[in-house]
Structures are given as structure tokens and as C-alpha cells.
Amino acid sequence: MYIIIVGAGRTGSKVIELATQDDHEVVVIERDQKLAEETSATYDCMVINADAASKDIMLEAGIQEADALISTTESDSVNLMISMLGKQYDVETLVSSINDPQHMDLFGDLGVNIVESPHELNGQYLYRTVQRPTIRDFMEIGSGAEIFELTVEEGAPIAGLSLIDADSEGLLPEETVIVAIVRDGELNIPRGQSDIQADDTVTIFVKNGASDRITDAFRES
């Protein structure tokens, strides 16, 4: 995956660390010269010392080839400009931190995945949003365990099945627990005979972390 990360501060540096560990092709744009130099010396990635709110700089970073664009600056106006450029060049996954909740609609209208609440505003969450865009409200519990939400898509393999049937068909790995199902705004605590329907929001606990096998069960085939 080709990922452009704007900002190498506390949040951005965690995204850079995770993305480079996974051997993605990473380009970082950081306007602070000292921070840009530190990033270049620490991580295996290309670093551009410049202001990302510039079409020429984004083209230099290869925005036209990027699979994901993550903006982590402290300025919502800069983040919005970067997201607009990403939208213009059809970047598939756009992710941005947001500092003022009043700006959420501006980002939402662009189709940007937004991270804005304090406990979510961290590099790991931003990176997970790029890795698995169908996952919402991801939280790592420890020792590799994770809890997160997924919305069941129409035509997904698990749609229409009970938890027992989903298990018998091998759709979910062992050590996976469906914790809650929200349907039409009503919270349900599932049992074995409980079914899962399209448009349900499902909260899932996974001992060994999210995987494609899990997310594929909830996505349209």
C-alpha cells in the first residue's frame, strides 16, 4: 500500500512507525525541518520537508498514486485542504484528525474518515482506519486482543445467519465473540440463536485481533 502521511508529530509518528513496520511504501510531509530530519533518520520512508497544503508538494509526494492519505496536523483548515486534494486525485482512503467538532460536517461531506474524540486521537487508531476502513471504534485491549464495531453490508456472508450457523460455517475464527448487536437503534445482547441482519451494527471481541477473515464475513461478497 502506498500511504502519504502529513505531519510527523506525536500522532503522525505512531502512524509512520506502524506503516513502515508493515512494509508499506510511505511518504511523509512535515514542514518543521528538525522534525523532518529526525523522521528521515528514524524510519524507512521518504520525507518531504514542506507545507503539505500545496498541490505541487502533494504531486511531488505522489498523491495521484496513493492508496491512502492520512492528515494529522493541528490545523483543521490544513487537514481539510489536504483531504480536498486527496478527493480531487481519487485517493481511495482519506483519514484525518479533527480538532474542532464543529468542522465534522465539512470533512464528512468529502467522505473523510474522521478521528476526533480524545481517546481515539492516536496514531494506532488512524492507522487501523486505513488498514480496515470498515472497522469503527477500534480499541486494543492488550496482548493482541481488540474490540471494534462493524456494520453488516447487504449481501455479506453472515447476513441472515444465526450466530450458531455462522460458527458452523466457519465464518468467524475461534476466540471471536459477538458482544452486541444494534438494530434500528435498539441494543441487543446476542445469544446463539440470535441472527445478524444487513445494516446491523455489531460489536466484536477478538482475542487475536481483527483479520480479513473477520471483516470479509460482514462485507458484501
Interval 42-73: pLDDT, tens = 999 999 999 998 899 999 999 999 999 999 88
pLDDT in tens, 21-41: 999 999 999 999 999 999 999
CATH 3.30.70.1450 spans which residues of the chain?
Answer: 138-217
CA distance 18 to 58: 22
pLDDT in tens, 93-129: 898 888 777 888 888 888 887 665 444 446 767 777 7
CA distance 221 to 201: 18
The CATH architecture of the domain made up of 138-217 is: 2-Layer Sandwich (3.30)
At residue 92, what is the residue type? Answer: E
At residue 88, what is the residue type? Answer: Q
More confident residue, 131 or 204: 204
Determine contact, residues 85/58, Cβ cutoff 8 Å: yes
Burial class (CB in 10 A: 0-12, 13-18, 19+), 209: middle
2.60.40.10, 3.40.640.10, 2.60.320.10, 3.40.50.720: CATH of 2-131: 3.40.50.720
What are 5's strand-pairing partners? 28, 70
CA distance 92 to 86: 8
CATH 3.40.50.720 spans which residues of the chain?
Answer: 2-131
CA distances from 39 to 11, 86, 117, 138, 150 (A): 13, 23, 26, 27, 34
